[in-house]
Amino acid sequence: MDDAINRNDLSHVIAADRAHVWHQLSQHKQYEKIDPRVIVEGKGLRVWDATGRETLDAVSGGVWTVNVGYGRESIANAVRDQLLKINFFAAAAGSVPGALFAEALIEKMPGMSRVYYSNSGSEANEKAYKMVRQIAHRRHGGKKWKILYRDRDYHGTTIAALASGGQEERKAQYGPFPPGFVEVPHCLEYRSQWGAVSDYGLRAANAIEEVIEREGPDTVGAIILEPITAGGGVIIPPEGYWPRVQEICRKHDILLIIDEVVCGLGRTGTWFGYQNYDIKPDIVTMAKGVASGYAAISCTVTTERVFEMFKDDAEDPMSYFRDISTFGGCTAGPAAALENMRIIEAEGLLENTLTMGARLMDNLRALMEKHEVIGDVRGMGLFCGAELVADRATKEPLPEKQVAAVVAATMARGVQIGMTNRSVPGLNNTLTLSPALIVTAAEIDRITDAIDGALSDVIGA
């Protein structure tokens, strides 16, 4: 940890934090007995807290965000230089980094055309929903207004984003929710809803069409899906799933929205997760890794076809997309995103993601052979999960408290990992791993060695 930080009166910082900061996802009763954790520095994959303790971060900032690692001076400089030129202007006007990043982004997304800026993944999805609703009024007499979402997927924390989320414990106590959001089944073959079927991917996709037929195809305007379910358990869609989903969307004139908030900007070894499946989306949303957390930015990206629906009648004062995002006009986000993208390309981080991701999966499979408590391992690139079970034969989930104990024991060994927590009732039993794309072989081994030891500590050999 930097000497200058050591000289600061960190006890005052901790006291101020305890007295005034309301932390995310935290029961503050605990801070009457323990100090809140305050992170003061990061470099590469390592972070230091106010006590001087070093931790290897295997979850990219705790929420799948810091894709290029901590301490990137070139991104900080890019943001600083831009802010001195012009820090903000309402996004009805353009900016240099906004135009250049949109151009660079579209080059990575064949078939896509337009970028709408905002400042969080939740907001990016809200923009997509508003586009769908406005299109319903303009093109379909207000009928095609419903938006489908998938069980176990997650799309954000606002009320509408929660309404479109398939994680019941995230939604608890926040209703009533706005109407028009309809759930379709998950696609986790390990926990098949239909027993053992030879074509699970096709069966799970056809279940979407069953929902569409039930609701009425003339009422459904869009479906939003994560390319790989993240917080709901790192779920890789089975073979046959995505081609059939796309076919169903085209058949019923349903807009396909892909939520890339977690998978985007290299996490799976491609620029975007959907690009592993030859999907042609209508709308793509993204945040988190777009600027690796160095500045707030999110994007709602559309095809030209979607964009044209909002400019075909200049005489109609209701025809344009009548939305505003104040901090969509902040230049720090696209400035950071441009440099973030340059780093990914210059340092070959997509290739490193594939190489290190393969090593991570190999290590997890080896742990599965050693520890009966691991029922399944799943992943793509540096985006992996290990589902823990009390009984491998019955697939009975390991209780959430024991999964949390494994996470804590891994932290005690100097490595921070994640887990599905307070999301899916009875199924918050998956360890999650998403180290920065710069991770080395030695760091991968350190991560899985720590999990190995933690499983032995908590569960036994």
Which superfamily is assigned to 3-66+348-458 in CATH?
Answer: Aspartate Aminotransferase, domain 1 (3.90.1150.10)
Q: List pLDDT tens digits, range 182-232.
A: 999 999 999 999 999 999 999 999 999 999 999 999 999 999 999 999 999
CA distances 375 to 26, 197, 258, 361, 399, Å, are: 29, 19, 29, 14, 13
pLDDT (average), residues 135-148: 96
Q: How far is C-alpha 178 from the geometric centre of its chain's CA atoms? A: 23
CA 312 to chain centre: 34
Is the pTM above the cut of 0.75? yes
Confidence check: pLDDT of 8 > 90? no
Q: What is the pLDDT of residues 360-383, one digit of tens each?
A: 999 999 999 999 999 999 999 999
pLDDT on residue 421: 87
In tens, the pLDDT along 107-117 reads 999 999 999 99
Residue 453 has pLDDT above 60, yes or no: yes
Residue 7 has pLDDT above 80, yes or no: no
DSSP code per residue over 234-294: -BPPPTTHHHHHHHHHHHTT-EEEEE-TTTTTTTTSSSSGGGGTT---SEEEE-GGGTTTS
How large a percentage of the chain has pLDDT more than 70?
Answer: 98
Looking at residue 10, its pLDDT comes to: 83
The whole-number pLDDT of residue 4 equals 45
Question: What mean pLDDT value characterizes the chain?
Answer: 96
Predicted confidence (pLDDT) at residue 461 exceeds the cutoff of 80: no
Domain ranges of the chain: 3-66+348-458, 74-346
In this model, does residue 440 exceed pLDDT 50? Answer: yes
Identify the band that residue 1 occupies on the pLDDT scale cut at 50, 70 and 90. Answer: low
Tens-digit pLDDT profile for residues 337-361: 999 999 999 999 999 999 999 999 9
229-240: average pLDDT:
97
- Give the mean pLDDT of 391-416: 98
- Residue 422, classed as helix, strand or coil, is coil
Range of lowest pLDDT (3-7, 217-221, 455-459): 3-7
Looking at this protein, which amino acid is placed at residue 266?
G
Give the CATH number of domain 74-346: 3.40.640.10
Instruction: State the CB neighbour count (10 A cutoff) for residue 276.
Output: 18
